[in-house]
Amino acid sequence: MKITTRISLGYGLFLAILLGLAAYQVYAIKRMQSINRTIAEMDFQNSLACLEAMRNLDLVEEYARKSFALGDADYFNLLREYRQDFTDDLRNLKNRAKDGGAKDEIDRLARQWDALGARLAALENRFVSGSGELPENARQDFELLGAQLRSVYQVNLGSMSLRVENASRTGETAALVLAFTTLAAVAIGGLVSFFIYRSISKPLAHLTEGTRAIAEGKFFYRLDTSRRDEFSQLARDFNAMTRRLDELDRMKKDFVAHVSHELKSPLASMRETIELLLDGIPGPLNEKQRRLLDLNRQSGARLTALIGNLLDLSRTEAGVMEYELKSHDLVVLTRDVVEETGIQARDRDIKIVTSFPEKPIEAECDGDRIIQVLVNVLTNAVKFSPKSSEIQVRIEAIHGLPESIPMSGLESIAGNERDGGFALVTVSDAGPGIPHADREKIFEKFYQAEHGKKTPGQGAGLGLAICRAIMQAHRGAIWVEENPVGGSRFCVLSRIVPDVLQDCPGITR
């Protein structure tokens, strides 16, 4: 199902619940209004009619007593008038009664009133003049009629109470429905949001991981295409892109390796020819000619080094770089490198200060490759250090990993080998330093950090990339950090031979 369909269905259900809740609330409010209107307009008016009927009944009884006691025609007229008023009150009560119980009580009241009216009419014919009292049976009828009228009034009050109670129950029900519906809407909204988040976050995380892998040059990375949504099409397009990038990367590597290999032989012939000319074998040279040939020889040397780096890089990326691992004394290897680069340092009036242990520090490694790493690091230190400055080269044996090692260095060392013995070679210079943001990038291919003014003869950005590949192959590490006194400090970490770990001088534990 598509992501847009899921979002539409999920939030459509959520909105439907909210609309249903709103409709129910409108219905409940209207019902409560109707109940309140009924109470206000009908039951209250019925109560007033009952009270009016009670008053008129009392007047009928009063004037009936006076009429039969005095025989006054005016009283008889008033009696007839109030009897008619009470009859009208009964008619109003009948018309307003809606409840079945109230109707039965009013019908009973009407029957009692009809009986009393017939009795009063008969008595009026016999007692035209005064000197009589209201008979006992008539008084009893008035008492029964009053009691029945009060019963009607109580029934009406009970009906009002019942309607009020119904209104209260309706309000409570509406509140409960609102509460449960709100909880249900929140729960459904949360579930919909969760499933939508889950549907989006997981493929986005994979896409982010894949993008990061491509940025690191891992063109073999592929995304899962088994989903049935927009992310599946995105994953297929991403995989097609990575396949194409992988093909282009392989073509580039093959081209660089092929061209570098093809240039190696003619370049060697050119350098040999220049050496023969400089040796004067074909004939003597003047100073100007010798100077030009010497410049050509230096350019050829740099070109040879560049081609060698390209070939090493191609072999490293192809996984066919060969290493001849033997036990070597790192102190001797480092000392040889210092002597080799000493000429360049003296030309720039740079002093190389060493701090080596007296006893050897043995490491199982490819000596030539380790020398290649140290030469690259020390040559860069000489190249970027100011004139008349100082470079410090130090070797020490340590137990466990140094605290300053970055994550990239930890990744190149096997997890079960991080607590062993190591040899740490540090080269500290007084140059312009390397910005923190560039300390990992300088080990990438063709990347060059800005060291202030562009240094003449600065390389192509392959040396440090090859150095890191060599140290990773040795299960070691290389990184750069800030020199506390200014400049940069390159660190080369190698594993010490376990058998001679106890014999390492000055080992730090």
Domain regions of the chain by residue span: 3-191, 230-318, 326-503
Q: In what order do the strands lie in the sheet with 421-428?
A: 351-355, 390-399, 421-428, 488-495, 477-482
In this prediction, residues 467-472 reach a mean pLDDT of 89
Instruction: Work out the pLDDT band at 454, boundaries 50, 70, 90.
Output: very low
Contact 360, 329 (CB under 8 A): yes
Q: Does position 247 have pLDDT exceeding 90, yes or no? A: no
Contact 374, 425 (CB under 8 A): yes
Q: What is the CATH number of domain 3-191?
A: 1.20.120.240
Q: Do domains 230-318 and 326-503 have the same CATH topology?
A: no
CB atoms within 10 A of CB 392: 19
370/120 Cα distance (integer angstroms): 137
As a whole-number percent, the residues of the chain with pLDDT over 70 amount to 79
402/424 Cα distance (integer angstroms): 9
Contact 376, 467 (CB under 8 A): yes
The pLDDT, as a whole number, for residue 501 is: 44
Contact 26, 177 (CB under 8 A): no
Question: Which residues partner with 22 through β-bridges?
Answer: none
The pLDDT, as a whole number, for residue 481 is: 92
Q: Does position 250 have pLDDT exceeding 80, yes or no? A: no
Q: Go through the chain and tell me how many residues it has.
A: 509
203/346 Cα distance (integer angstroms): 58
What is the CATH superfamily name and number for domain 326-503? Answer: Histidine kinase-like ATPase, C-terminal domain (3.30.565.10)
Contact 207, 238 (CB under 8 A): yes
353/395 Cα distance (integer angstroms): 12
As a whole number, the mean pLDDT across the chain is 77
Contact 381, 431 (CB under 8 A): yes
The pLDDT, as a whole number, for residue 503 is: 47
Q: Does position 129 have pLDDT exceeding 60, yes or no? A: no
Structure tokens at 127: 């007692």
Q: Does position 243 have pLDDT exceeding 60, yes or no? A: yes
The dihedral region occupied by 496, where left means phi > 0, alpha psi between -120 and 50, and beta the remainder, is: beta
327/496 Cα distance (integer angstroms): 9
Question: What is the dihedral sign for C-alpha 173, 175, 178, 183?
Answer: negative
Kindly report, residue by residue over 306-343, the tens digit of the pLDDT: 777 777 766 666 666 778 888 999 999 999 999 988 88
Residue 478: name the closest of 448, 446, 445, 443 by CA.
443
Kindly report, residue by residue over 277-312, the tens digit of the pLDDT: 877 787 788 888 888 877 887 777 777 777 777 777
Backbone angles phi, psi at 300, to 5 degrees: -65, -40
Q: Which of 158-162, 239-243, 264-268 has the highest mean predicted lDDT (pLDDT)?
A: 239-243
109/115 Cα distance (integer angstroms): 10
Structure tokens at 96: 């307003």
Kindly report, residue by residue over 131-155, the tens digit of the pLDDT: 466 677 777 877 888 888 788 777 7
The pTM for the full model equals 0.49
The letter for the amino acid at 92 is N
44/39 Cα distance (integer angstroms): 6
- The correct answer on CATH 1.10.287.130 for the domain covering 230-318 is yes
As a whole-number percent, the residues of the chain with pLDDT over 90 amount to 11
The pLDDT, as a whole number, for residue 459 is: 56
DSSP secondary structure letter of residue 425: E
